[in-house]
Amino acid sequence: MAREMIRQGGRSARIQEEVHKAVNTLLKTYDRNELTVPMVAESSGVTPSTIYRRWGDLSQLLADVAVAHMRPVSEPEDRGDMQGDMEAFIQQYAEEMSSKVGRQMLADIIGSGGSSATVKCCGFTYQHLETLQKRAIKRGETGFSVDEAMDVVVAPVIYHILFEDREPTSDYCRKLVARLFQRGDR
C-alpha cells in the first residue's frame, strides 16, 4: 500500500513536470491567449481530462506554472548589513517582477482568481525576508519586523508594477528601504 502511494507520488510529480515543461515550451511560440488545454495535453503527452482534474482550468494551470518560477533558486545575497541586504533584495525583486515575464507571472497568478497561487507567491517573499531578519540578528543587528518590511518595502514595489505601469527605479527602492529603517517610532 505504502509502495502504491509512493508510486502514485512519483507519477504525480512526473505529470506536473511534463505539463509545466509543455506550458513553458508552448509559451515560447504562442501567445497565452492562443494557448488551450488540448494543446498542453498533446505537447506533454497527458490527457486533457488529467489536466482538468488536477488544475481545474487553464488559468489555474498558468498560475501554478508562474508560482513555480517565483520559487527562489538561491539564498539571498549577503552584503554585510541588513540595510544593504534589504536593498539588494528589493532591487533584484523589482527588476525581476517588472520585466515582461515578471508582469505576466503576476497577471497569471492574480488573474486565476484562486488564492492558493497568490498565498504561495507571498510566502516565498516572506520566507526570503525572514532569512534576512535571522541573518541580521546573528550579526548582532537590531533586526526588523518582517510584516513591516512586507508593508513598507514589498507592497509599494508590487503596487507600482501592477497599477502605475512603470518600473520601480533603484532610487525608489532605496527610498523604501530607508523608510523602513529610519522611522522615528522604532
Q: Which residues of the shown chain bind a second copy in the complex (CB under 8 A)?
A: 33, 57, 104, 106-107, 110-111, 113, 115, 118-119, 121-122, 150-152, 154-156, 158-160, 162-165, 176, 179, 182-185
17 or 148, CB closer to a second copy? 148
140 or 184, CB closer to a second copy? 184
106 or 136, CB closer to a second copy? 106
Three-point CA angle 59, 33, 117, nearest 5°: 20
72 or 113, CB closer to a second copy? 113
| Residue that has been written with the C-alpha cell 531578519 in this structure | 133
**Shortest CB 154 distance to a second copy, Å:** 7
**Shortest CB 43 distance to a second copy, Å:** 23
Taking the C-alpha atoms of residue 109 and residue 112, their distance in angstroms, rounded to an integer, is 6
137 or 155, CB closer to a second copy? 155
**Shortest CB 5 distance to a second copy, Å:** 30
Residue 30: left (phi > 0), alpha (psi -120 to 50), or beta?
Answer: beta
Taking the C-alpha atoms of residue 1 and residue 51, their distance in angstroms, rounded to an integer, is 25
Burial 85-107 (b: 16+ CB within 10 A, else e): bbbbbbbebbeebbeeebebbbe
- Which long-range contacts link 137-145 to residues 24+ away (Cβ below 8 Å)? 139/81, 139/82, 141/81, 141/82, 143/82, 144/82, 144/86, 144/180, 144/181
**Shortest CB 4 distance to a second copy, Å:** 34
**Shortest CB 96 distance to a second copy, Å:** 16
